[in-house]
A = this chain, B = another copy of it.
């Protein structure tokens, strides 16, 4: 059971490590960290992860997982990466994306006509790329499973573990990683966050939002 996690510069580490930490505990699973080339990949905030598999070397996958992050923007300008994803995704048993990783899946043509989700700030970008955005923690449509922002990868990992190995296995993994979340604040979604904090994030991310929207729209019209 091969798990393939895409890595690229500027990926958000928790988008990768959340589902990895869950899915690597499924009996018989083996994780591959797949990038343009084998070697170090600098994630957001300077954490360096190691890609052990190039696109050309990647084995057939039971699970393809595409994480998000600020580097997601460059993925849409990388035909080598998108070609790999399209081919790997068409053969994979389960095609998954976390956060803005869903936008990369969509750009690779893997979410055309599928319901999907992404980070709350960027839901509209999914529509630009031919998917049907749904504001939900996990969205499953046929074999495409997508998760909301960053930390949703843990929930997604457990959901996919249940599909791969049954609910008992997923529940055992949940207990192994003591996933009994108790956030010290109640601010995890736009619905519950302090409106001032929400407004501030909207403002801080406006330039990034505009770049993403413009890129997604342009991408769509060029496809």
Contacts and interface: CB of A to CB of B under 8 A. Distances in A.
Interface in A147-172: 148-152, 154-155, 158-159, 162, 167-168, 170-172
Q: Main secondary structure on chain A at its contact with chain B?
A: mixed
Interface string A117-158: 001100000000000000001100000000011111011001
Interface string A15-53: 001101100110000110100000010001111111010
Interface residues of A, number: 64
B18 A14 contact: yes
A207 to B, nearest CB: 15
B172 A155 contact: no
A77 interface: no
B181 A183 contact: yes
A182 B197 contact: no
A13 interface: yes
Nearest to A187: B171
A52 B42 CA distance: 12
Given A18-B14, A47-B31, A154-B151, A183 B192 contact: no
A81 interface: no
Quick one: copies of this chain in the complex?
A: 2
A221 interface: no
A71 to B, nearest CB: 15
A49 to B, nearest CB: 6
A170 to B, nearest CB: 6
- What are the nearest 6 A-B pairs in CB distance? A149-B178, A180-B188, A48-B50, A171-B187, A181-B181, A24-B45
18 contacts: A17-B17, A24-B45, A120-B178, A138-B182, A154-B181, A154-B183, A159-B184, A167-B185, A170-B184, A170-B185, A171-B193, A172-B201, A175-B187, A175-B189, A179-B181, A179-B183, A181-B183, A181-B188
Given A31-B47, A168-B194, 11 more contacts: A13-B21, A33-B48, A40-B50, A46-B52, A151-B177, A171-B185, A174-B183, A174-B187, A175-B188, A175-B193, A176-B201
